[in-house]
Amino acid sequence: MGGSVIVIDSKAAWDAQLAKGKEEHKPIVVDFTATWCGPCKMIAPLFETLSNDYAGKVIFLKVDVDAVAAVAEAAGITAMPTFHVYKDGVKADDLVGASQDKLKALVAKHAAA
C-alpha cells in the first residue's frame, strides 16, 4: 500500500485523524503549511516521499494554516513550515523550518519508537 499525505480541510477531519493515530498506535507527522510559503513548497516533495517510505507505519497530514485556521491556532503555529509529531493524541515533538535532514531525522525517530 502506497503512502499518501492526507490533506486536512476541517477541524472534524483533524480530530478524526488524531483519533485514528491513537487507535492504531501510529505516530502522526503534520506539515503546517501555506500556499504563499516558498520554503513550504520546497520541502513538500520530501514530505510526500517520506509518506511513501513510511507507509503503514506513520500517518502524514498536511494542514493549510489559512484554510483551516482553527486547527493551526489550536496547535500554536506561528511560522511555516512547522512540523508536529503526535503520539496517542498528544504532541510529542516539533520542527520549525524547511530542513530536509532534520525532517528526515524527525520522522525516522518517531517511526522507530
The answer to whether residue 37 is catalytic is yes
Euclidean distance between CA atoms 13 and 74, whole angstroms:
14
Residue 63 makes CB contacts below 8 A (sequence gap 6+) with 8, 14, 30, 31, 32, 33, 71, 72, 75
The answer to whether residue 89 is catalytic is no
**Catalytic one of 6, 37, 80, 98:** 37
Euclidean distance between CA atoms 94 and 86, whole angstroms:
9
**Catalytic one of 18, 28, 40, 59:** 40
Instruction: Kindly list the catalytic residues.
Output: 37, 40
